[in-house]
Amino acid sequence: MGQPLWARRLCLRNCLSKSTCQSIQLLGRGSYNTVYKLVFTDGTEIAASVSVHDEEDFNPEAKLSEIATMQFVRTSGSYPGIHVPQVHAWDITFSNPAGAPYVLMDVVHGRRLDNLINDDNKLRGLDGMSEVQQLAVTKSLAKLQSTLSAPVPFDKIGSITLNNEGSFIIGPLFTITQQNLGGPYQSLTDLWKARLEHEILHALREWSRLETDQLSQSLSEPKCTPQIFSELLQLLASLIPHFVPLSSYLPLVLHHPDLALRNIFFDPNDDTKITGLIDWGGAQVLPLMLTAKFPDDLNSTGEDPCERPGIPDEGWNTVPHDWTSFGDTSEWPDVFRGPNDQVDLTIRASAMIKRYYLRQHFGLYFAQENHDRCGDYNLGRAMLFAHAPYYLKFHEIITGGWTSFVDHAEWIRETYWRLNAVKQDGQSTGLIIGPNVYRSSMEKSVFDLNIFETQFSDGVQDGEEDGEEDDDVHE
């Protein structure tokens, strides 16, 4: 395949080397960027990260924040052992030779472990490693997370950017999808209140001329009525004071939102030595409690490899679903690769159970690293990854918008009533912990007479559908 035209033009215009570009190699494709390696005749190697966003979806401020974060990590001196490629040049317009925003930086060398395949069980990456290697790699990831948890010299929640004088400051809070969540914010309370107000503004602008009490505008949005939206909004607002973490969990630290083996490079001869960390898009400065997200390779869901009867999957992006046993495998679905070639789901399920124990290893080694490296004796922070799930869930819901409210409606209601039962004195201090998932709702302390209205509405809809089917039969 010949070199892309934009790449040839970029090579010719590149001011980083006086020699000419002799080869272009595809390094990788991601959800947000495609990366090429440009090799010049003098031996210079440059990585060109080209955005795959459409012009209407691209946020130049978010990309500038990503670049500033990489520069901060390299120059601040706060992150020993975290090697970030040096950025040499960038263009965040769509009128450059690439026809898309790009960043030119150093090529990161090292071994990636995400594509390793176990020939015996066909598992990939961390799942396919031996138990001894799994422990070693997990320990390396925990050490990386511990280094990232160093306090930052900022006093606001948001994302790092540069001011006109070239100094690092905190700007708006950007997500990995380049969404602008506003800010910067002085506190979590300010952030959460602002996000709820954002949803009210959305309602005023988008839902003031509805023909029916159905807020969903597309099949991708969950079904919701104005009444349900209002209920969930009120419940979340009432929970905000209770979900502000204790002071020991509030130091502001830098959060890498996509910590995964696909973005980490290791020494080819040493799985305990990390040589590079890439993909800093969506990096945020957050309270420590909200950065306690396990690396993606340690996460698990209630759908992988299959759903287990009686154990619901709440579908969180930030909190894993704990596989700790198989349950009754006779109730598992039959899955085939082809005729008479049935898939053994227990192999994958066993890997999910291993991830559960690897997460415990990650959490305890994270605490050990904080103790050994920083002399941190705080018992709360030593249990950070055990204490964080409810706070991560609450933050995920509020920052996810109204569709996230509806997706997690049962969790919101259940959490409200459980807290209402144990915090009758109104005290907001104390740590909130609980089960990994809610398997059944507790008895509420109110009698919700809306149940009759709901049943009537469902009955009418069922009757209409039945009537339509009868008409078809008679025809």
Ordered structural domains, the chain, with CATH: 5-157+160-165+262-277 (3.30.200.20), 166-261+284-422 (no CATH)
Q: How far apart are alpha carbons 364 and 383 in whole angstroms?
A: 8
The conformation of residue 176, written as its DSSP 8-state character, comes to T
Residue 9: predicted pLDDT: 52
Longest dimension (CA), the chain: 82
The conformation of residue 185, written as its DSSP 8-state character, comes to B
Q: How far apart are alpha carbons 284 and 82 in whole angstroms?
A: 17
Report pLDDT digits (tens) over 137-194: 999 999 999 999 999 999 999 999 999 999 999 999 999 999 999 999 999 999 999 9
Report pLDDT digits (tens) over 219-239: 889 999 999 999 999 999 999
Q: Smallest Cα–Cα separation from 88: which of 52, 41, 40, 56?
A: 40
- Cis? peptide before 295, omega within 30° of 0: no
pTM for this model (two decimals): 0.90
Torsion of CA 364, 370, 376, 377, to 10 degrees: 10
Instruction: Name residue 276's beta-bridge partners.
Output: 265
**Mean pLDDT, the chain, integer:** 89
Residue 369: predicted pLDDT: 95
- Whether pLDDT at 357 is above 50: yes
Q: How far apart are alpha carbons 471 and 475 in whole angstroms?
A: 6
Q: How far apart are alpha carbons 412 and 410 in whole angstroms?
A: 5
Instruction: Name residue 274's beta-bridge partners.
Output: 266
Task: Answer whether 268's CB lies under 8 Å from 111's CB.
Answer: yes
What SS3 class is residue 206? helix
Q: Output the six-digit token pair for 426.
A: 């109104």
Q: How far apart are alpha carbons 366 and 314 in whole angstroms?
A: 26
374 band by pLDDT with thresholds 50, 70 and 90? confident
Q: Smallest Cα–Cα separation from 250: which of 378, 404, 160, 76?
A: 378
